[in-house]
Amino acid sequence: MALRGVQRATIDLDFILMLEDLDRADAILVVAGYEKKFRSENVSHYRSKNCDFGRIDILHAFRGPTLNMLKRADRIEVADGLSLPVVQLEDIIGLKVQAAINDPKRHAGDWSDIRIIVESAAGQAIQLDWELLRSYLEIFDLTEQLSEIKEWYGKIDG
């Protein structure tokens, strides 16, 4: 979210990695002092022994929607000579919807983040792809939420 100009108070990093890069990422994170706390077919979670470093979440890219997120990503410069691919705001929202559904304890926080993203986009006059957002909401049978999201943006019409 931060690389798209939307600030949050939490200290965590989220990455989308191809399956063939997971073992290499694991080795790098372990050397950097992180411990793998969870790994499934879809995600990996790491925590540092140093609480100031926060959590790292890795989404495993192998399904169509996630691979398409990577295709749409823009390279954003994060330091002199270093740029990273960063997914679109709509893709971040899609991931937040999925996280809210997958973990009910995260529901309120993730929907709050979605609202912050949408209001920030509106404030910066960034056009959102409403059909892409609709497609993410349809996955979880939440298309009725689209009108509320449009209200947050200030777009009341269809």
- Pair 135, 92 in one domain: yes
Do 59 and 96 sit in the same domain of this protein?
Answer: no
- Per-residue model confidence as pLDDT tens digits over 95-132: 889 888 888 888 888 899 899 999 999 999 999 999 99
Q: Residue 19 carries which side chain, given as an amino acid letter?
A: L
Token duo for residue 129: 């792809």
pLDDT value, residue 46: 94
In degrees and rounded to multiples of 5, residue 39 shows phi and psi of -150, 130
- Same domain for 56 and 111, yes or no, is no
Residue 155: the pLDDT is: 67
* Same-domain status, 92 and 57: no
Domains identified in the chain, total number = 2
Question: In whole angstroms, what is the distance from residue 5 CA to residue 135 CA?
Answer: 24
Predicted local distance difference test score (pLDDT) of residue 12:
74
Give domain status of residue 49, yes or no.
Answer: yes
**CATH number of domain containing 43:** 3.10.180.10
Q: How far apart are CA 44 and CA 69, in angstroms?
A: 18
- Do 95 and 157 lie in one domain? The reply is yes
- The strand order across the sheet containing 55-61 reads 12-18, 55-61, 43-48, 34-39
Residues of the chain with pLDDT under 70: 1-11, 155-158
Tell me what pLDDT residue 82 has.
Answer: 93
CB 104, CB 129: distance < 8 Å: no
Closest by CA to 66, choosing from 128, 14, 111, is 14
Q: Please state, as a whole number, how many other Cβ atoms lie within 10 Å of the Cβ of residue 26.
A: 17
**Do 33 and 97 belong to one domain?**
no
Q: Which residues form the domain of 25?
A: 1-65
